[in-house]
Amino acid sequence: MSKIKPSKGAPYARILGVGGYRPTRVVPNEVILEKIDSSDEWIRSRSGIETRHWASPEETVAAMSIEASGKAIANAGIAASQIGAVVVSTVSHFSQTPAVATEIADKLGTDKAAAFDISAGCAGFGYGLTLAKGMVVEGSAEYVLVIGVERLSDLTDLEDRATAFLFGDGAGAVVVGPSQEPGIGPTVWGSEGDKSETIKQTVSWDRFAIGDVSELPLDSEGNVKFPAITQEGQAVFRWAVFEMAKVAQQALDAAGISPDDLDVFIPHQANVRIIDSMVKTLKLPEHVMVARDIRTTGNTSAASIPLAMERLLATGEAKSGDTALVIGFGAGLVYAATVVTLP
């Protein structure tokens, strides 16, 4: 018989507060068109994107995270010192170590909270949310701060017609804490590594460091291009529309609800056409509010779901207590979907 005492966590967990930060610089499609042969109409029709936010040098991954987290903590009605763990999902913090989560935890004023980064691309927020739920229920932390943050403008090839217009910067954060009733449903998550080539970094950091131009992509002026994110657009579109709709339905089934029970749908803000196709495939009723934050924010990867959630609540398009389906999907290929009660 084990001598280990059982954990004493909360019976359930839920999102208690949400916060977001968008960089001050707003970038319209006209700026993107300076480098690629396209049009504003084409970008809008293909992606739905009208503008995106790009960070200044001062708006670092840590700085944006701290701004968003401060709002989430205040919204949750707790003190930063009560945060027991900080989980940061990002692919655009360029320092391999230490984790940026440790800097954020310290500057927020937590009491030596556990802190670590994860890399799960556009599904990163869902991964972090699942980890946070486990910590709260298991008892290793009473309150967990989950942050999705990206500076994808640093990883954008402005001469790549397929991706130059897609990406934006920003940070979204939520506080997960104890609840007496279910507030975060079972997570349906996974990966399809056989499709990893469809979304990837153009050049690995070690190859870039070597600087052998014979093997590295060059820009229009003959300079070595900084590593960027590239994707096979049609393959990603087909996968997202057909396979991720199935995952979303599985998350609804796991939570024991039907589309009619939903109030809000918050998918990863990858592409308006993908979002609209998923709505159609899932046969969501007209009363379900659908997040389309991508129009003015672009694709912010791990930050897109909490940013969209924060905007829906701020505008009154969604309200506290609403039942929402959230799903993230992206590079890996990885995915995560769950049903949550909005804070």
Active site residues: 122, 268, 299
CA 80 – CA 83 distance, rounded (Å): 6
Beta bridge partners of 188: 337
Coil/strand/helix, residue 299: strand
By the 8 A CB rule, do 202 and 125 touch?
no
Sign of the Cα torsion 193, 197, 199, 200 reads positive
Distance between CA atoms of 287 and 138, rounded to whole angstroms? 36
Q: 3 is written with which tokens?
A: 């001598």
Closest by CA to 16, choosing from 187, 133, 135, is: 133
Helix, strand or coil, per DSSP, at residue 334: strand
Angle of the 304-315 helix axis to the 124-138 helix axis, nearest 10: 80
Nearest to 299 by CA among 118, 33, 121: 121
Can you tell me which residue has the tokens 């989950």? 146
Between CA 241 and CA 243 the distance in angstroms is 6
Q: How far apart are CA 261 and CA 278, in angstroms?
A: 17
Beta 323-330 vs 334-341: how paired, if at all? antiparallel
